[in-house]
Amino acid sequence: MSYSNISLSHLTFSYEGAPEALFEDVSATFSTGWTAVLGDNGIGKTTLIRIALGELHAEHGTITPAPGSYITAYCPQETTQQPQNLDDFANDWSAETLQVRDALGIGDDWAWRYDTLSGGEKKRVQIACSLALAPDVLVLDEPTNHVDADTRHAIATAITGFKGIGILISHDVELIDAVADRCLFFERRHTGVGNRTVLTARPGNYTEASASLNRSNLAEARDLKNARRTAARIDSVKADRVHEAAQSAQKRRGDKIDPKDRDAFAKRGMAIYTGKDGRAGAASARIDSQVSAAHERVESLETAAKRYDGELFIGAAASHRREVVHMDAQKLAFDPLLQEQSSNDDATDNADSATPGLLIPELSVGPLDHIGVDGPNGTGKTTLITRIHAELEKMATSDDPLPYLFIPQETTDDDAKRALVSLERLDSTDHAQVLSGVAQLNSDPDRLLSGEAPSPGELRKLLLCLGIVTDAPEIIIMDEPTNHLDLHSIEALGNALGSYPGALILVSHDARFLAACTSIEWALARTGTVNSSLSIRLR
């Protein structure tokens, strides 16, 4: 039996040991077609979907139809997770599977050598295996984290033909605009009593739905501003009437109160105005009611919670060196099938060598240079970054080591555990600075203190902030820094890195992100069947 929608009603969920619920009394409906799920890292997007799939159980709420009554397929963020039906897919040459293979450009041998594929190739295979299950519900969790423009287009083309209920958790605006029929926004909303998570569904792709959301947020901000003005005006009216009552009482009774003694005036005025002298009690009750109603309205109005601008580098400084990285012109050998850097002994500057690899000119990185590295998958971006990282590691043992921070494309559970231990061991000043940095990148520091494992996006932010505080780096190198980050976090990270006073080398497929925080482009391109080359230009 196929289903046209899945309804999640009034769900509440808390992780064990967490100080508060991850979300409370939220509802959502997923219908045939693609629904994009958007929200900040750690806000509960993946958790909600795991509840819908029956992998987690909510404390309260219902799911209709019940999990287990429909066929599901989940494609995770991490490409290290091999699809469970990979062997079946490798031996499936039906017309339907061949169509999926063709749409995603999957080589005949890819399923047999999954561990040797690039991140983008693994993602294609993961999606293909999910589609091959012909599920009622297909969930894609950040499917374009590791892919170039061609792969993104292939993924969009392949999933557009899916006829079931599609759920797309993504920060990729281009992909969402290409495939989504509606968007479900996870939002942190603020009232006078605190913040809470709400879910808001809006029709259309990201461009359409986010424009609608922004209009609503602006209207709510105007309503709150007007409500505050009304409350302030009524407060002022009450204060004036209290003062007037005190002055009238003085004239009637002939009491002498020092004109400068405003407290005495206020006490007498309040006594009269509230009816303690038998006068004006009804007027007091009316205006008190108006004051109470005005302030209750201010407290009840919800607006979008505050966001930050990514200010991280307090006290950071550029290196005293004229160069922080230098590499001679050479050919960096790597196996394009394995997507791995070869040993240093294989590197050569012989452009005519039959060894496949990346041809680079002489490279020099100054202490203020902000460099963005881009190019199609398989052209050697990670090979280049790995070699630079190796050179910096060599310098670490010299008499004049260069402080640096390197954050790779893939992180592990062990990385998360080490990061949390490092955070716990910091002194109070550094501990507070790291958590402040995490907040500046639009994540909730309290989640890191709850003991819950950070999401991949939260871990990237934590690693960056830890590295800044503990290492005082003069150069930061990040491979695909926007992977796993939500849209607001990408913007905050771009602002932060753009203001970094030291050197940057960033590898990314996100052209808008690189334009926001780098001024020099190292562009990699294929120059043959197995070779690629690097060119340098200013943005």
What's the rounded Cα separation, in Å, for the pair 483 and 428?
30
pLDDT of residue 267: 59
Integer angstrom CA distances of residue 274 from 89, 233, 235? 81, 20, 15
Query: How is residue 534 written in tokens?
Result: 């690097």
Per-residue pLDDT band for 134 (boundaries 50, 70, 90) equals very high
Return the CATH number of the domain spanning residue range 5-204: 3.40.50.300
What's the rounded Cα separation, in Å, for the pair 77 and 80?
9
pLDDT of residue 486: 82
What tens digit of pLDDT does each residue of 355-390 get? 778 999 999 999 999 999 999 888 889 889 999 999
Helices 95-104 & 119-132 angle (0-180, nearest 10): 150
Helix (H, G, I), strand (E, B) or coil at 117: coil
Residues of the chain above pLDDT 90, percent: 45
pTM (2 d.p.) = 0.70
Count of CB atoms situated within 10 Å of the CB of 31 = 16
What tens digit of pLDDT does each residue of 443-457 get? 878 778 877 788 888
Please name the fold of domain 325-538.
Rossmann fold (3.40.50)
N-term to C-term CA, the chain: 54
Of 159-173, 325-339, 469-483, the one with minimum mean pLDDT is 325-339
Where exactly are the structural domains of the chain?
5-204, 225-304, 325-538
Domain 5-204 and domain 325-538 have a common topology:
yes
What tens digit of pLDDT does each residue of 301-315 get? 565 556 555 567 766
Query: How is residue 186 written in tokens?
Result: 């996870």
pLDDT of residue 202: 93
